[in-house]
Amino acid sequence: MKPDAFIALIAAGAQESTRATKVPASFTIAQGALESAWGESGLAKAAMNLFGVKADKSWSGATVTIPTREFVKATGQWITVPALWRKYSSWSECLTDHAKFFIVNKRYAPAFQHTDNAEQFALAVAAAGYATDPQYAAKVIAVIRSHNLTQYDKA
């Protein structure tokens, strides 16, 4: 899917989520774009999971097992491992759970000091360990900037 089409599909839901949770819409859109390859990843297609949220022991919903690449800091290597992912019935359900995930996981509390700055929010989320990729925050921020996503934080 083209970036403009993906943004058009989730922007309103991201903005609604912002109003309810304070997670910046531009961050939500950029993270969804990055994690789902603009809605085209296997995880997005098989599980409506746009954000790469794994199914840990707190998850009671449907799941799917799909391999993922993880960066191992100790070795400086990327490896592929099977992972259990949350499965949703729609992108709307995924968007709702995405914001809830940040709220209920206390390790992300520092990000909520930056609800008025999506780039700082992304840095805090990455610092809290959302992804193993050491360039994660930079990648999310690049998507925010290259697609002028902060415009969705103002609506």
CA-wise closest residue to 98 among 36, 144, 7: 36
Q: Which residues are catalytic?
A: 70, 97
Q: Which residue has the tokens 């809830």?
A: 100
Q: State pLDDT tens for residues 33-90.
A: 999 999 999 999 999 999 988 898 889 999 999 888 888 878 888 888 888 999 999 9
The mean pLDDT of 145-150, rounded to a whole number, is 98
Half-sphere exposure of 118 (CA within 13 A, CB side): 27
pLDDT of amino acid 11: 96
Q: State pLDDT tens for residues 100-127.
A: 999 999 999 999 999 999 999 999 999 9
The mean pLDDT of 130-147, rounded to a whole number, is 94
The answer to whether 20 touches 147, Cβ cutoff 8 Å, is no
Q: CB 131: neighbour CB atoms within 10 A?
A: 18
The answer to whether 56 touches 78, Cβ cutoff 8 Å, is no
What share of the chain has pLDDT > 70, as a percent? 99
71 CB-near residues (< 8 Å, 6+ apart): 77, 78, 132, 133, 134
What is the domain class of 3-153 according to CATH?
mainly alpha
Dmax over CA atoms of the chain, in Å, equals 44
Alpha helices in 65-117 (DSSP H): 91-104
The answer to whether 89 touches 48, Cβ cutoff 8 Å, is yes
